[in-house]
Structure 1
Amino acid sequence: MVTVEEHYESLLSDVYTWLMGGFDEAKSNNVEFFKSRNITPSSSGIAVDLGAGSGFQLIPLAELVV
């Protein structure tokens, strides 16, 4: 039996990336989404993406902390 991580890496990650138009496109769209709505992490420096997935939302949000 495969683990959840193995299942995601071998099957789901490519599907999620394809659905969103590719990683770079999805990341860019989310950067613009956050900026246009003034969404920034609090001063704690912690960003949590409960949905996980491919990181389309988490990576741009984490980069706003830096």
Structure 2
Amino acid sequence: MSQTLTVEGMSCGHCEQTVEDALLDVAGVEDATADNEANSVTVTGSADVDDLVAAVEDAGYDASA
């Protein structure tokens, strides 16, 4: 299953990598691809959306489903 989150605050490739790494640490996440120009991240896997949002926020960015 694929989910897309809106992520505010990413401005560069390093930001994208930080968000992706944070999401890959969440149980059930198979892949994460962030796009700072679109202010979004697409996550593949079975993780709960609340866990995804929490992981992005813990990494220092604002997220919403």
Q: What range is the shorter-chain TM-score in?
A: under 0.3
**Structure with bigger RCO (C-alpha 8 Å, 6+ apart):** 2
- TM-score, with structure 1 as normaliser: 0.26
Flag the structure with higher strand content.
2
- TM-score, with structure 2 as normaliser: 0.27
